[in-house]
Amino acid sequence: MTYVMSDIHGNKRNFDSILEQIDLQPEDELYVLGDVIDRYPDGIKILRWLMKRPNTWVLLGNHEYMMLRALGRPYDLYEQTDELFVAEQQQLWYQNGGYVTHKHWKRLRK
């Protein structure tokens, strides 16, 4: 079976509920169409779980895109990463629910 979801936004309770309903099996495929992070606190945890699954594919959503731009080098997608640019991108990301994700991202070990 093939499953598709998007806009999880760090909401682990809802995400776990969906996984329970679909009862994802090793032979199934799960496609996540972006926006795993932001707004709720468990986006990084969910993203890491998804990355470990062999039958799961995650596409970059606009929230992940904002995160990469806000973090600057070496995570940026562009040449332009001066401090002002990164600060502007971080402000945009925070306005869209990124603060909670950034707080958890900073706690990760390298």
pLDDT given for residue 81 in this prediction = 65
The structure tokens listed for 10 are 């760090």
Q: Can you list the residues of the chain whose pLDDT is less than 50?
A: none
Q: How far is CA 40 from CA 5, 24, 61, in A?
A: 17, 23, 16
Tell me what the pLDDT averaged over the chain comes to: 92
Give per-residue burial for 17-56: e unless 16+ CB within 10 Å, then b.
eeeeeeebeeeeebebebbbbbbbebbbebbeebeeeeeb
